[in-house]
Structure 1
Amino acid sequence: MNIDFNKNKDGLVPAIIQDAKTKNVLMLGYMNNEAFEKTKATKQVTFFSRSKQRLWTKGEESGNILNLVDYKIDCDNDTLLIFANPEGPTCHKGTDTCWGEDNHSTYGFLSTLEQVIEKRQNSAQSDDSYVASLFEKGINKIAQKVGEEAVEVVIEAKDDDDDLFLNESADLLFHYLILLRAKGFQLDDIVKVLNERHQ
């Protein structure tokens, strides 16, 4: 890995900091060669502060350090992507990220679907909502639906109709998310269990 610190006159390259677990972007800083070498040596992310004109280890005053996990260099060798585990909020304003966002895991459309399910659970208009009507019928009905969908997935897995298999799989996942919500959990709780098993 040859980082081109000489590409800019100031000898600095941008360093994008990404949470190693949630994959959220936490902040942007700048590193010179000395800051990069110190980051690798101490395993704590260190920048070159343009305002202080010196090396600056994130959290040296606040205690909100960034623990180095890994790093990559881009295709032009002039931008770093740093994977880190944060201890506390990253932004000096006290937020998780410098964009004011909460640093929690998201799962793309599945997280959106979880939000829709939560909204329907809290809706009083079950006549218009299949999800709300399931919540009204209770945990036994929801669990029964998950069981039914699981059986249908198994049946379609033994057949050659990929469209039916995918549609039944989608039904199973959808009803499983409803069951998780009914039990007071989210997909993130399952991911945590899987991560613990993986370690």
Structure 2
Amino acid sequence: MYDEQLNRLTFDQQGLIPAIIQDAETAEVLTLAYMNKESLQKTLETGETYFYSRQRQELWHKGETSGNRQIVRTIRFDCDSDSLLVMVEPLGPACHTGKKSCFYNMLQEHDTRDQMGINELTNLISQRRNEASEGSYTAYLFEEGIDKILKKIGEETSEVIIGAKNNDHEEMTWEIADLTYHTLVLMELMGVSISDIKQELDKRHAVKEGSANE
């Protein structure tokens, strides 16, 4: 069924092709694994990741024993057709150590504080919830629970309204950032992901597009 697609790829002398596994929602790189034609075909057929273990020399289904399966969203290959990029929805940690990503050892790090985006902030909030650190305001919010979080969202919403009435760009920026942060904390608590929001917006856009064409 997938012979034509597989024939477009270049496998190495061992019949393998490297596959970079990436979180479809956050874009975080989860692991680097290898596939042969058989494991790639099973991945295409089942919609879950199958790899080839170079050490055991056998196929393995990610999450078969741990339950940490990976639901495939897209599979791309590079310009040389000799490596894959597999975007997945992870149903648990990718690493056998229990870490979300296998790439948790730091070799070098530059100051990236100015690169904090929504996905990075979402990951940090989740980390603070699961690995509460002393002195963390985020961890404090989770300890206090939903009433405290909702109170903060109400306060920040009021501050946004005041900033808008004052026509103050700097104040608006500051307060919207606060409201966004506290909303992300609530989303983490309630199990609502960025992907959930995107899907809902996509559905609304599709409905509007359909109505416009009628």
TM-score scaled to structure 1, two decimals?
A: 0.63
Residues 113, 175 of structure 1: CA spacing in aligned structure 2 closer, same or farther, 3 A cutoff?
farther
- Report how many residues are paired: 156
Residues 77, 141 of structure 1: CA spacing in aligned structure 2 closer, same or farther, 3 A cutoff?
closer
The aligned residue for residue 150 of structure 1 is 164
Alignment match of 1:195 (pick from 181, 195, 198): 198
The aligned residue for residue 54 of structure 1 is 58
Residues 188, 79 of structure 1: CA spacing in aligned structure 2 closer, same or farther, 3 A cutoff?
farther
Looking at structure 1, the residues matched to 16 and 94 of structure 2 have their Cα atoms a distance apart, in angstroms, of: 21
How far 1:192 sits from its partner (Å)?
A: 6.1
Q: Which runs of 5+ in 2 are unaligned?
A: 106-113, 125-135, 138-151, 188-192, 204-214
Looking at structure 2, the residues matched to 98 and 71 of structure 1 have their Cα atoms a distance apart, in angstroms, of: 20
How large is the Cα RMSD of the aligned pairs?
3.5
Alignment match of 1:25 (pick from 9, 26, 29): 29
Which amino acid in the other structure matches residue 116 of structure 2? F
The aligned residue for residue 94 of structure 2 is 90
2:177 is equivalent to residue 174 of structure 1: no
Alignment match of 1:4 (pick from 4, 10, 13): 10
Residues 113, 35 of structure 1: CA spacing in aligned structure 2 closer, same or farther, 3 A cutoff?
closer
Contact (CA 8 Å) 1:177, 1:187: kept in 2 or not? Answer: no
The aligned residue for residue 184 of structure 2 is 186
How far 1:37 sits from its partner (Å)?
A: 0.7
The aligned residue for residue 68 of structure 2 is 64
Encode CA deviations 1:2-30: one digit per residue, 9 max, x unaligned: 1111xx21121110001111211111100
Which amino acid in the other structure matches residue 100 of structure 1? Y
Deviates more, 1:189-198 or 1:61-70: 189-198
Encode CA deviations 1:39-86: one digit per residue, 9 max, x unaligned: 001111011110110111111222211111111101111110001111
How far 1:147 sits from its partner (Å)?
A: 2.2
Aligned-residue sequence identity (percent) comes to 33
Contact (CA 8 Å) 2:25, 2:194: kept in 1 or not? Answer: no
How far 1:110 sits from its partner (Å)?
A: 4.0
The aligned residue for residue 131 of structure 2 is none
Looking at structure 2, the residues matched to 43 and 150 of structure 1 have their Cα atoms a distance apart, in angstroms, of: 47
Looking at structure 2, the residues matched to 17 and 23 of structure 1 have their Cα atoms a distance apart, in angstroms, of: 10
Alignment of 1:120-159 (within 5 A): 143=157, 145-151=159-165
How far 1:100 sits from its partner (Å)?
A: 3.4
Looking at structure 1, the residues matched to 121 and 73 of structure 2 have their Cα atoms a distance apart, in angstroms, of: 31
Alignment match of 2:49 (pick from 25, 45, 49): 45
The aligned residue for residue 156 of structure 1 is none
Looking at structure 2, the residues matched to 68 and 74 of structure 1 have their Cα atoms a distance apart, in angstroms, of: 17
